[in-house]
């Protein structure tokens, strides 16, 4: 029986491309005032502004903020690594969020069913809390972990196992919900159910071999849970 849900943030609670595509275009002039030099940064970040699309290999999808900073720092010698990490965190906290669904209603519905809720993101904890606050859902979460919260980042299972410990629920009774293979691999490593959603860059064919179920968005979780409880077919 599923007693708790732990969510990825970007691409799961928030539509990945709409949110982080706008973030990339906003952060570029902050990082590099010379627009003629933006193409190199866009290539490393894996974003095509003409198509409005991230490459599936984009580090923005699965890397931690310090990892992204390390990748782009050689292109930005006017920043120290620590200063660059700070700028990315500040700008991430201001990202123009596009919720994937009505988050207060959807997450509030899960709480009304008695489910405990957690967040595990490769973003840092400060911006993650800022995003949840702006979306009006921070009080609904029992647990929030970023890559700097002390349990590492995904695909390692540390954040997920810390959530299970914090709410005293067995990992087998928890579903990890995410849009990337990092999320699903973390779920498997933690011994949790793996739920894929299609509000990120990955497609069904990418996620299905690694997931217990792939859903269009988190709004379909309630129906999936009802099917599991009734012994129905998972779709």
Q: What is the mean pLDDT of residues 138-160?
A: 97
Per-residue confidence (pLDDT) for residue 64, from 0 to 100? 87
Q: Which of 15, 26, 136, 152 is nearest to 92 (CA)?
A: 26
Burial of 44 (0-12, 13-18, 19+ CB in 10 A): middle
Q: What is the mean pLDDT of residues 143-168?
A: 97
Q: Per-domain residue ranges for the chain?
A: 4-15+98-230, 16-93
> Is the confidence at residue 229, as pLDDT, over 70?
yes
Q: What is the mean pLDDT of residues 174-189?
A: 97
Q: Which of 179, 189, 195 is nearest to 235 (CA)?
A: 195
The correct CATH number of 4-15+98-230 out of 3.20.80.10, 3.40.50.1000, 3.20.20.60, 3.40.50.300 is 3.40.50.1000
Dist. CA 113–CA 213, nearest whole Å:
20
Helices (H), 113-195: 125-134, 158-167, 181-190
- pLDDT tens sequence across 87-96: 998 888 888 8
Of all residues in the chain, what percent carry a pLDDT higher than 70?
98
> Is the confidence at residue 235, as pLDDT, over 50?
no
């Amino acid at each position: 029986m599923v007693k708790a849900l732990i969510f990825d943030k970007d691409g799961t609670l928030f539509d990945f491309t709409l949110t982080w595509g706008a973030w990339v275009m906003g952060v570029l002039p902050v990082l590099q005032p010379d627009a003629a030099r933006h193409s190199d940064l866009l290539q490393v970040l894996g974003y095509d502004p003409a198509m409005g699309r991230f490459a599936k290999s984009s580090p923005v999808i699965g890397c931690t903020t310090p990892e992204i900073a390390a990748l782009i720092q050689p292109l930005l010698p006017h920043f120290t690594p620590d200063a660059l990490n700070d700028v990315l965190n500040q700008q991430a906290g201001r990202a123009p969020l596009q919720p994937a669904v009505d988050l207060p209603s959807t997450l509030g519905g899960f709480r009304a069913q008695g489910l405990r809720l957690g967040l595990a993101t490769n973003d840092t904890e400060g911006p993650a809390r800022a995003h949840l606050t702006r979306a009006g859902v921070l009080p609904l979460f029992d647990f929030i972990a970023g890559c700097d919260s002390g349990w590492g980042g995904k695909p390692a299972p540390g954040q997920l196992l810390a959530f299970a410990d914090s709410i005293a629920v067995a990992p087998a009774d928890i579903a990890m919900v995410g849009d990337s293979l990092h999320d699903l691999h973390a779920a498997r490593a933690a011994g949790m159910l793996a739920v894929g959603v299609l509000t990120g860059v990955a497609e069904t064919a990418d996620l299905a071999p690694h997931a217990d179920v792939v859903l269009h968005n988190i709004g379909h979780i309630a129906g999936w849970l009802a099917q599991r409880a009734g012994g129905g077919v998972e779709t």
